[in-house]
Amino acid sequence: MAVFTEVSRDEAAALMQQLGLGALVEMTGCAGGIENTNYFVSTERDGQCLQWVLTLFERLTHEQLPFYLHLMKHLADKGIPVPDPQADASGAILHTVRGKPAAVVNRLRGCSVLDPGPEHCAQVGVMLARMHLAAQDYPRQQPNLRGLAWWNETVPVVLPHLQPTQAELLRDELAYQNTLAASAAFGRLPRGPVHADLFRDNVMFEDGRLSGVFDFYFAGCDTWLFDLAVALNDWCIDLASGAADAQREQALLQAYQTVRALTDDERLLLPALRRAAALRFWISRLWDWYLPRPASMLKPHDPTHFERVLLARRREAGA
């Protein structure tokens, strides 16, 4: 959530008034994250102080964004605690600020838990399964834009920056994932809209209870198992080594299946999809690290973390 595009107080105040959200009191640029410009905004309306997040989208287009915003609205309407995009008088939830597509959502209560225990992982498992089922009847379609096609496009761009052993690992895993994606078992995996980025810092807890899930701007239609693998690779590992934490992993998987049981194909392919999820984030972090964009407060993530995670997933799978 770096600041790529500076927004003035007057511009923000005008948008808040347009949306009927009250008078601007305060706005602060958000550090953390690397995709969009984000501001925390406070307004006053009818004697109440209200909290919002103003997002300007730096890579996503006006044509792509309705999928994400209406997915959030769809989930919010079904009782899932996600940011709810605010509409103007015409009902539009996609706006324009400084020539960029923009949205305003309510700011969720609580804070992220960066050292989760099994009890946190269990709540994440339940919520992820609830989101998958709640989105089954979402009518819009859009592929996961950071899926296999993007991996195949991006790997040749980052390979020249890598050491020979890293390049060999990257090429080998990409070849494995291309073969997997062409298999019959992979084709049978249940799919639908997925979050695709359910990391610890994208979930909020308040008084020990999961209070919100946010940052849906990597969402797309993909296998539910990939979404589950992304969560397992962040919530249920030792961050220093990338090794799986069996207790947290069991808690998340068992809780997920109290809402939606995994199919036989999903159980069979979970180790492979955990490798896929590690590969996806290693590629994207390599791209952000070696080909950065200028931005105020930009802090790209260290790509070696997901290199370790991928190596750990491969060892666990006997690769």
What pLDDT sits at residue 32? 58
pLDDT value of residue 2: 62
Percent of the chain surpassing pLDDT 90: 92
Q: Mean per-residue pLDDT for 136-153? A: 97
Which CA distances in Å does 153 have to 148, 182, 285?
Answer: 9, 18, 15
d(CA 68, CA 21): 22
Confidence of residue 256 (pLDDT cuts 50, 70, 90): very high
Q: Are the C-beta atoms of residues 161 and 186 closer than 8 Å to each other?
A: no
Is the C-alpha dihedral spanning 316, 240, 111, 68 positive or negative? negative
Question: What is the pLDDT at residue 84?
Answer: 97
257, two tokens = 């299946």
Mean pLDDT for 152-164 is 98
Query: Would you tell me the crossing angle of helices 65-77 and 118-134 to the nearest 10 degrees?
Result: 110
Q: Are 54 and 47 in contact (CB under 8 A)?
A: no
The pLDDT of residue 34 = 62
Q: Which residue has the higher pLDDT, 298 or 176?
A: 176
pLDDT confidence of residue 170:
98
User: What is the domain partition of the chain in residue ranges?
Assistant: 9-106, 118-316
Q: Name the residue with tokens 């998340």.
A: 252
How far apart CA 255 and CA 274 sit, in angstroms, is 18
pLDDT of residue 20: 97
Q: Is 186 in contact with 180 (CB distance < 8 Å)? A: yes
- Residue 36 contacts residue 1 (beta carbons within 8 Å): yes
Read off the pLDDT band of 31 (50, 70, 90): confident
- 202 near 167, Cβ under 8 Å? no
Q: What is the dihedral of CA 123, 254, 283, 141, to 10 degrees?
A: -80
Burial classification of residue 176, based on how many CB atoms lie within 10 Å of its CB (0-12 exposed, 13-18 middle, 19 or more buried): middle
Percent of the chain with pLDDT over 70: 96
Local confidence band at 181 (pLDDT 50, 70, 90 cut-offs): very high
- Residues 182-233 have pLDDT tens digits of 999 999 999 999 999 999 999 999 999 999 999 999 999 999 999 999 999 9
Distance CA 63, CA 94 (A): 10
Phi, psi of 235 (to 5 degrees): -75, -25
Report the CATH superfamily, name and number, of domain 9-106: Phosphorylase Kinase; domain 1 (3.30.200.20)
Beta 191-194 vs 100-106: how paired, if at all? unpaired
Would the pLDDT of 297 be above 50?
Answer: no
pLDDT tens-digit profile of 298-315?
A: 567 899 999 999 999 999
Answer yes or no: is pLDDT of 1 > 50.
Answer: no
Which one is predicted more confidently, 81 or 36? 81
Mean pLDDT of 98-121: 97
pLDDT (average), residues 284-294: 88
For the stretch 233-255, pLDDT in tens is 999 999 999 999 999 999 999 99
**Interaxial angle between packed helices 304-316 and 164-181, expressed in degrees from 0 to 180 and rounded to the nearest 10:** 60
Measured in whole angstroms, how far is the alpha carbon of residue 93 from the centre of its chain? 20
Phi, psi of 305 (to 5 degrees): -60, -50
Q: What is the mean pLDDT of the chain?
A: 95
Q: What single-letter DSSP state applies at residue 160?
A: G
Q: Token digits for 210?
A: 């999961």
Q: What is the mean pLDDT of residues 20-39?
A: 87
Calculate the CA 189 to chain-centre distance: 21
pLDDT (mean) for 100-123: 97
Contact partners, residue 228, CB within 8 Å, separation at least 6: 128, 253, 256, 270, 273
CATH 3.90.1200.10 fits 118-316, yes or no: yes
